[in-house]
Amino acid sequence: MDVQQIKQRFGIVGNSPVLLRAIDIARQVAATDLSVLVTGESGTGKEIFPQIIHQMSHRKHAQYIAVNCGAIPEGTIDSELFGHEKGSFTGAFDKRRGYFEVADNGTIFLDEVAELPISTQAKLLRILEAGEFMKVGSSVVQKTNVRVVAATNVNLAQAIHNGKFREDLFYRLNTVPIIVPPLRERKDDIYFLFRKFTVDFSEKYRVPPITITPEALELLSTYRWPGNVRQLKNITEQISIIERERMIDAATLQNYLPNLYEQKLPTLYNSGIDSETFSSEREILYKILFDMKNDMTDLKKLVHELIHNDNQNINLKEDHINIIHRLYKDEVRTDIIQPQKTIDILPNEQHITDTEEIQEENLSLENREIELIRKALERHHGKRKLAADELGISERTLYRKIKEYDIK
């Protein structure tokens, strides 16, 4: 069975290379008994891949059990997975078989595996290494032949660093990794998914299918979809039920896309900033502007010091030189300082401009965006595709912003 046949059988929509690669890896590893770790953001459809692996393996006629590790209370997770003996704890009125016993010779899918307690992780590791486990309240070792496929939307490397996930378990689970791409990396698939969902909900609720205008399609394509395919499906269902008008324009669609304004901003800066500290591109842009303002304040103090000391035998500190070089490199000094006179402070005929009055730069986000777009276009001699790549936005979005801001 090839990738296209798998897509048809499991109802997978999309032709993104990263998605097709993930499907192909699942197809190849299905014939083995190797453990598989499926990673990806919430809502990307990770649960499809364990089903592909199971149905295409020699275990397909045995049990397939999907377990949401995050939905089971910590106090009962061991009992659910490994079973328990009668009287082993309060409420254990009967002997119980766990999932690993029930799914012997089959496949277990452990969703949200990062939510397992550390003690349970140790027991899972023993199953992966030796195929052995003990029921809660029992001292008898039991054997099981289960294929384990796990999934998580958590950064396991960070979880290991924080002591919340065992490193040895990670390597046992991660024998074959499958990475499910987020929807923002599958932009060409967004419309096809939307169209499929409209047809599905039209049949389900017996209403005419909705369609969208080109402007609304632009919004669908440029939105970042933090909830991925699940969010797209949810929004499509809402619109199908709520809206009486079957042609959906951009204004209507905006009402269903949270934080739309923040999502429209181009990605302008990337230096390893913690996403928990700066949750949007707008906050990152403001930080850059405020850092520039602080640099200019430091530079103003330096220039005033030079004037006061009459420029005699002055040795610049390293941090001052770094500020000057950074300002020259970023080409922002002429936008902020109004030159009045120059003082010779750098070797090799380098100069710095003194000012007695600093004009506060307009911190309007719109003006700054216009300035960045203009500079990108100038650097690439008007070639929109190259400028869009530098700004981190699509060429279509750049073209719309050029028209919106009337940039010549």
pLDDT for 377: 85
Six token digits for residue 100: 């690993």
| C-beta separation of 231 from 257 below 8 A | no
Looking at per-residue confidence, does 282 or 381 come out higher? 381
- Decide if 47 contacts 234 (C-beta within 8 A): no
Mean pLDDT value of segment 199-214: 94
Quickly state the pLDDT bin for 309 (edges 50, 70, 90).
low
pLDDT tens profile 11-30:
999 999 999 999 999 999 99
CB within 8 Å of 223: residues ≥ 6 apart:
257, 260, 263
pLDDT of residue 285: 65
Which residue bears the tokens 């009045």?
A: 340
- Quote the pLDDT of residue 271: 41
Q: How far apart are CA 192 and CA 197, in angstroms?
A: 9
Is 313 a residue whose pLDDT tops 70?
no
- pLDDT tens for each residue of 355-390: 444 444 444 567 778 888 888 888 888 888 888 878
Beta-strand relationship, 141-143 and 147-152:
unpaired
Q: Give the CA-trace dihedral at 242, 243, 246, 247, to 10 degrees.
A: -140
User: Residue 42 has which token pair?
Assistant: 């919430």
For residues 153 and 112, what is the distance between their CA atoms, to the nearest angstrom? 7
Bigger pLDDT: 290 or 353?
Answer: 290
Tell me the domains of the chain and their CATH numbers.
3-181 (3.40.50.300), 184-264 (1.10.8.60), 290-354 (no CATH), 365-405 (1.10.10)
83-139 confidence digits (pLDDT tens)? 988 877 777 788 889 999 999 999 999 999 999 999 999 999 999 999 999 999 888
CA–CA distance, 188 with 193 (Å, rounded to integer): 10
- Compute the distance between CA of residue 143 and CA of residue 151 in angstroms, rounded to an integer: 24
179 near 22, Cβ under 8 Å? yes
Angle, helix 228-242 to helix 187-205, in steps of 10 degrees: 40
Average pLDDT over residues 160-175: 95
